[in-house]
């Protein structure tokens, strides 16, 4: 593209005649990157990019602080619910602020590679809106549709996104669990025999697969052996050599956070996540992006509950958000350094 700003008419034509008011903001104007180089480097280096969801300033600060400190690339993730909660305008400038903040935090002032991703986009219109407001990657989730309808929807999003160099993640298979607007009672594992056809016909840049991870804090039942289907992952990897694979629902549900929440008035009986060793193995394969959301919610809630229990007279949000932000930063550093192996992988 010769310019990052696209006129209303150009956008109208690119969207196939869809009436999209306003002026487009390209992700490069915000200092963001798409995921193409990030995933290529991850495949070559045997690591996975951390994809951390955020809903407010404190979460974003902790993500950028942690990843800048350990020199890890990062994908900031926003769900449809988070976008409605925080406002698309504020999110755009928070993303730009994250880029500038990372420059301030790194000694050489170059910052770290940061992508902004729509997590579980459920419609073409939502994906287009995010692309037009500066997102550098969008995930279109047509996994609940029929196979052919999923291809049709995903291909349509890809055709629009690629005109602006925005990368696209599709999904095959259904994850169980509940997180924001995404809710399914049971798994529908990805069928490896479908992945080549799906990627070829849609043109997606990465593919989320279902191998037993699930959304939310209740991924397995008490007494059940937590085990994801790494055999499906390895078969997908064999059929799609060097193609970026994504794992959703990959929180480990740290027991210390669950115990703290329950100790100070919470009710989270039997919350169980994905063992970190299994995520480490996945990160060494073609899995280039691992999504983590519930862990940060749990850690933040635990810190705030403990703070109020010990200091019930306090009411200044800065007082209880400070330890919550610190706990989040420690979690993100741990994930980058000890689970995803993304620490030290910034190429800026």
Residues with active-site annotation? 119
Cβ neighbours of residue 78 closer than 8 Å, sequence gap 6 or more:
53, 54, 86, 91, 116, 117, 118, 119, 130, 135
- How far apart (Å, rounded) are the C-alpha atoms in residues 213 and 278? 11
- Number of residues that make up the chain: 348
Choose among 9, 15, 136: nearest CA to 77: 136
Kind of pairing, strands 182-184 and 177-179? Answer: antiparallel
- Asked whether the CA dihedral 92, 10, 19, 182 is positive or negative, the reply is negative
CA distances from 301 to 261, 275, 313 (A): 7, 21, 18
CA distances from 218 to 175, 222, 249, 262, 294 (A): 12, 9, 10, 15, 10
Helix axes 147-161, 124-132, angle to 10 degrees: 20
CA distances from 258 to 78, 179, 243, 303 (A): 24, 17, 36, 11
First to last CA, the chain: 23
Q: Token pair of 279, please?
A: 């995520």
- How far apart (Å, rounded) are the C-alpha atoms in residues 46 and 43? 5
Q: What angle do CA 185, 189, 195 make, to 5 degrees?
A: 140
Q: How many CB atoms lie within 10 A of CB 268?
A: 16
């Amino acid at each position: 593209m010769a310019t990052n700003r696209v006129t209303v008419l150009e956008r109208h034509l690119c969207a196939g005649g869809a009436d999209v008011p306003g002026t487009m903001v390209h992700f490069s104007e915000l200092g963001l990157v798409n995921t193409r180089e990030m995933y290529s480097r991850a495949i070559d280096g045997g690591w996975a990019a951390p994809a951390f969801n955020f809903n407010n300033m404190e979460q974003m600060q902790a993500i950028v602080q942690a990843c800048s400190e350990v020199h890890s690339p990062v994908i900031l993730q926003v769900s449809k619910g988070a976008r409605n909660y925080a406002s698309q305008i504020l999110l755009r400038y928070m993303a730009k602020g994250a880029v500038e903040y990372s420059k301030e935090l790194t000694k050489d002032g170059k910052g770290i590679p940061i992508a902004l991703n729509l997590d579980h986009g459920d419609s073409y219109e939502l994906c287009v809106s995010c692309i037009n407001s500066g997102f550098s990657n969008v995930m279109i989730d047509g996994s609940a549709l029929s196979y052919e309808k999923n291809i049709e929807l995903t291909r349509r999003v890809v055709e629009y996104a690629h005109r602006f160099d925005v990368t696209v993640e599709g999904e095959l298979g259904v994850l169980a669990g509940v997180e924001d607007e995404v809710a399914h009672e049971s798994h529908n594992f990805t069928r490896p025999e479908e992945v080549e056809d799906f990627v070829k016909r849609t043109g997606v840049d990465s593919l989320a697969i279902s191998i037993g991870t699930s959304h939310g804090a209740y991924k397995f039942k008490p007494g059940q052996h937590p085990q994801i289907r790494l055999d499906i992952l390895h078969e997908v990897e064999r059929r799609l050599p060097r193609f970026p694979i994504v794992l959703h629902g990959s929180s480990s549900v740290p027991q210390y956070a669950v115990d703290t929440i329950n100790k100070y008035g919470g009710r989270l009986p039997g919350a169980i996540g994905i063992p970190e060793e299994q995520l480490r193995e996945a990160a060494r394969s073609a899995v280039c992006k691992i999504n983590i959301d519930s862990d940060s919610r749990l850690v933040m809630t635990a810190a705030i509950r403990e703070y109020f229990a010990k200091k019930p007279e306090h009411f200044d949000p800065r007082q209880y958000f400070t330890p919550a932000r610190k706990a989040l930063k420690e979690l993100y550093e741990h994930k980058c350094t000890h689970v995803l192996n993304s620490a030290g992988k910034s190429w800026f």
